[in-house]
Amino acid sequence: MNFDFSAEQYMFQESVRAFLDKKFDLAKLRALAESDGSDAQLWNGLLELGAFSMLIPEAHGGLGLSLVDLALVLEEFGRALVPPPVAETIAATDVLVRHATDEQNARLLPRIAEGALKLVPAIAEAQAGKRFVLQGGDCAETLLDCQPAIIANKLKILLQMSMVLVHAGKRPVVRVGRLAGQYAKPRSKPTEERDGVVLPSYFGDLVNRPEFTPEARRANQALVDLLGAIAVRKKATPAQISLAWLLAQKPWIVPIPGTTNPERLDENIGGAAVVLTSADLRDIEGATAKIPVEGDRYPERLEKMTGL
């Protein structure tokens, strides 16, 4: 089976590259990026190449291409530092095609294909000061909270808070729910003290349990200690060892760490530079096989839903 791109795909990519190389040097594109990104020559040139209509079905005046074709074009946009809203307009058409109503697609997609309509994600308007961003959720979610009623209540709170902001700020609000399944979290201190009792901090359901008891807090601590020992040997942090281990599993397994702390971001990026040899991986697998991991992966009710 051939997984390479087709000659037509390479030709389309090269035509976009040639246009950007010929018409726009780095200084001009940087100037556009520092403004609102509007440039008639850039917009019209990409329009003639068919960039804006590539994901739009032929029935609505588009080329009917795929996300693979889009990836090739976006690679050139990244190489040339093409500013918004060019890439956003192209990528957002896929959202319309997949999720908009037939009436909306019939009304909007032809206008995008002919270059008459630009799409700007709401988050970009927030960056420009035209919207508020309201993000809500837990620092570390618990598996017991994975229930429809609890999730619905969180969404209701977000909605109520956003209505207050809309009324007070006279601006629309982008609502972002931090409800993606983060079951581990870093802590500023390794231990926690209550009434003179010192126990390991709660690091999320993936590591231990929230109840302030020795059994709950020391659950799976041996696994944490193992990662710490390997980190010392590799001159890395336990988080970097964890990320390196995930990257070494399968090429299609990709960890998605998230943080707003620059130091944590640097730490996460450093995980990609940690090299675990086959001997390291055998040591980790062998050691973890001997460590009894406590706690179910899911509560009993959710476990039944997985079918495992």
pTM for this one?
A: 0.45
Same-domain pairing of 114 and 89:
yes
**What integer pLDDT is reported at residue 298 of this predicted model?**
56
Q: Give CA–CA dist 48/38, Å, rounded.
A: 16
113 and 25 in one domain? yes
Residue 29 has pLDDT above 80, yes or no: no
- Whether 195 maps to a domain, the answer reads no
Residues spanned by the domain of 244: 220-301
Nearest CA to 138 out of 47, 232, 204, 219 is that of 204
Give yes or no for residue 111 having a pLDDT over 80.
yes
Residues 109, 55: Cα–Cα separation, whole Å: 10
Res 26 pLDDT > 60: yes
With CA atoms as reference, report the closest residue to 113 among 72, 42, 70, 60: 60
Check whether residue 22 and residue 76 sit in a common domain.
yes
Query: What per-residue confidence (pLDDT) applies to 305?
Result: 62
- Whether 116 is in a domain gets the answer yes
pLDDT for position 198: 92
Please say which residue of 85, 105, 120 terminates a domain.
Answer: 120
In a domain, 202, yes or no: no
Q: State the Cα torsion 66-68-71-73 to the nearest 10°.
A: -60
Residue 173 belongs to some domain of the structure: yes
Instruction: Judge if 165 and 246 occupy the same domain.
Output: no
| 15 and 94 co-located in one domain | yes
Query: What total of structural domains would you count in the chain?
Result: 3
Q: 90 and 172 share a domain?
A: no
Q: What would the mean pLDDT of 16-40 be, rounded to a whole number?
A: 74
Residue 193 placed within a domain: no
At 50, which CATH number?
Answer: 1.10.540.10
Question: What's the whole-number mean pLDDT along residues 178-196?
Answer: 78
What phi, psi does 172 have (nearest 5°)? Answer: -70, 160
Does 297 have pLDDT greater than 60? no
Structure tokens at 155: 């969404």
Residues 84 and 162 in one domain: no
- End position of a domain, from candidates 120, 143, 169: 120
pLDDT, mean of residues 110-121: 83
Task: Look at residue 55 and tell me if it is in a domain.
Answer: yes
Same domain? For 46 and 99 the reply is yes
Q: What is the pLDDT of residues 132-159, one digit of tens each?
A: 888 887 777 777 777 778 888 888 888 8
Whether the per-residue pLDDT at 1 is higher than 60: the answer is no
* Same domain (yes/no): 250, 232: yes
Whether 291 and 235 share a structural domain: yes
Q: pLDDT digits over 67-81, tens only?
A: 888 888 888 888 877
Of 78, 99, 120, the residue that ends a domain is 120
Same domain, 147 and 250: no
φ and ψ of 39, to 5 deg: -155, 120
Q: Do strands 132-137 and 173-178 pair parallel, antiparallel, or not at all (unpaired)?
A: parallel
| 306 lies in some domain | no
How far is Cα 65 from Cα 115, in angstroms, rounded to an integer?
Answer: 17
Coil vs helix vs strand at 156: helix
Do 75 and 132 reside in the same domain of the chain? no
Is 171 within the bounds of a domain?
yes
CA distance 200 to 222: 12
